Structure 1
């Protein structure tokens, strides 16, 4: 028998099937700024309607949360995670996502699985008015086991130069407000899986995996709604490293974020993880979002407006002078 690419483990036909199955969902995210469709070597996006535009980009993946999705065979929500992790990052600078590209790698391609993952990405793109303009599906036998997938993405957004949020306007006395997360989002799952090895155990009346796979919240609409009423001086996406590592990333030197832990509404599943794993509180706050998916900073006089604008938002702290980057009380 002659050697073929298929005999080496790569099925080109399955790749063609994948493109066919995702084409409609992808095309529905396009707008007049997208100048070509799937199949070109590069995707064209025309930038228009801005006076002094600055492009803001970000890239991220889903991490080991994928392991849960693969084990329970539910693939659509991790596509939302992939998009949200990138789009929420660039949102921290006031940028609206323009377009997104995805990267999907696997040991053996199943077009139904791939289409479900990309379908989740497309749904998140559609919700935020972002064009899914390209991607790559790589079948890599010998690098990945059959049934394993990895998902990553790349997002480009735009903001007017004079509207960039970079933390430079953060000052002593300003207020720190937490926007609620939808769960673990897409961070800390290596520890989650260690403490919760049985994804099918019952938790609050349903299989635990349903709670664990709730996708990362998209914050674009919430942030833009706040910005219509209030000037934000800083935004931090609370991802890996939790509040402890992410809030200091936006602070000017000489300022401290003082966080009141009692004001943080910690989800019950995180409380259970902490209890069951015997995990120290500081380790929890330095690993998980603890119920705060995004932090916004504003003038003290504007804090009440933010709290009234977004249901579930929490007044969790203030900015003080100090050499410590963050203090949890």
Structure 2
């Protein structure tokens, strides 16, 4: 009888100890759940008489489990918890009856420690589904959400005249006014100032503060482009302002450095075009190019102060001379 009383006491303790865990499993994440309610009216005997009924009159523990006239509709995700809780109560009650009957009917051959171990295993197996259902039905508690943003991009207008380009360093007179979504928008006029002859070859630098070349590609395809440049002879300026094609500087050589490539309007971009250094002559040569998948947007090749130079041979005659540089942009992708 002593062992029987101990076993019954142990079973009762486990029974009442298990009830709070079920409630705690449901309440542990209650702060992480959001719910909404919808109203509906049932024309039947189990409908509450008025909307002012107290919570006690509207439901009880059996109603929460979905039984009787006071049953209520479960919130989203609660059905599995209700089923697990009900099943746990049934198993505990059934197990308690079986153990009590076994000892009363003389089945005392089983040792007490074995009975206790068996009780713990069964109760653990019963409690696991209920707590699992409670955990799985809840969210992660972070309140995360996803949304979608959309935008449609179209090519620039081929006929619209662009706004004035940037003039870094105070460069003036280089606006081309070229329309279109693929065009040269600015190129600095080069001024080499006044040079005193020495009877020897001389190399003089341009007096520009920030000579540069700017291009625009608003096609939105990033298919690349190429800019080439060629120069005519330096011809003497006559008194009437016209050029004398018979008085030229033979052997003059214009040098353009590689320069620094950057966004022309201060914007951002990672697929920058490529600059080339060259000695300009009367044949077109590539000075600025964008390989395929690069060059979209507004880009500038800044040659740098005192970096552009002109080589003057020793046998030139005094006078004012001018040459014309021809810059040509095509949609041919540059070389990588």
- TM-score category (smaller protein): under 0.3
Higher helix share: 1
Larger radius of gyration: 2
Structure 2-normalised TM-score? Answer: 0.22
